[in-house]
Amino acid sequence: MVNLNCKVEVSNKAYQEWISQKKGPVFNTECDPLKADKNKTCPIALIRKVIETKHPVSEYISSPEGGYYYTHLYPVFDQTGKVIKVVHYVEDVTEKKRIEEQMAITEKLAAIGQLAAGIAHEINNPLGGIILCLDNVIRSSMDEKTKNQHIELINQGLSRIQNIIKVLLDFSRTTELNLRVCEVKDLIENVLKLINYYLKEKSIKLKIELEQNLSPVYLDSNKIEQVLLNLILNAVDAMENSEEKVLTIKVYHKDSKMFIEVSDTGSGIPPHVAEKVFDPFFTTKPLGKGTGLGLFISKSIVEQHGGKIWFTTSEKGTTFVVEIPLEGRRIHER
Ligand X SMILES: Nc1ncnc2c1ncn2[C@@H]1O[C@H](COP(=O)(O)OP(=O)(O)OP(=O)(O)O)[C@@H](O)[C@H]1O
Complex with ligand X: residue 79 or 241, whichever CB lies closer: 241
Q: How far is the CB of 219 from Mg ion (least distance, A)?
A: 21
Residue type, 40: K
Q: Which of 36-44, 51-59, 162-170, 232-240 is the region at the interface with Mg ion (rule: CB under 5 A)?
A: 232-240
Instruction: Name the residues that contact ligand X, by CB under 6 A.
Output: 230, 234-235, 238, 264, 266, 269, 273, 277, 282-285, 290-296, 318
Instruction: Please list the helix, strand and coil fractions of the chain in percent, rounded to the nearest 5, in that order.
Output: 45, 20, 35
Phi, psi of 32 (to 5 degrees): -90, 110
With CB atoms as reference, the residue minimizing the distance to Mg ion is 294
Chain residue whose CB lies nearest ligand X: 294
Give the Cα separation of 283 and 279 in Å (integer): 9
CB of 209 vs Mg ion, minimal distance in Å: 23
For the bound state, the minimum distance from the C-beta of residue 110 to Mg ion, rounded and expressed in Å, comes to 22
48 or 108: whose CB is closer to ligand X?
A: 108
- Whether the CB-CB separation of 57 and 72 falls below 8 Å is answered with yes
CA distance 230 to 296: 10
Instruction: Choose which of 71, 234, 291, 318 interacts with Mg ion (CB under 5 A).
Output: 234
CA dihedral 208, 214, 219, 221 (to 10 degrees): 40
Tell how far CA 60 is from the center of its chain: 18
Q: Which residues, 245 to 304, sit near Mg ion by CB under 5 A?
A: 294
CA 52 from chain centre, in angstroms, equals 30
Interaction partner, residue 266 (ligand X, Mg ion, none; CB < 5-8 Å by kind): ligand X
Binding string, residues 174-213; x marks residues near Mg ion by CB under 5 A: ----------------------------------------
Q: Residue 91 in contact with residue 71, Cβ under 8 Å?
A: yes
Footprint on this chain of Mg ion (rule: CB under 5 A): 230, 234, 294
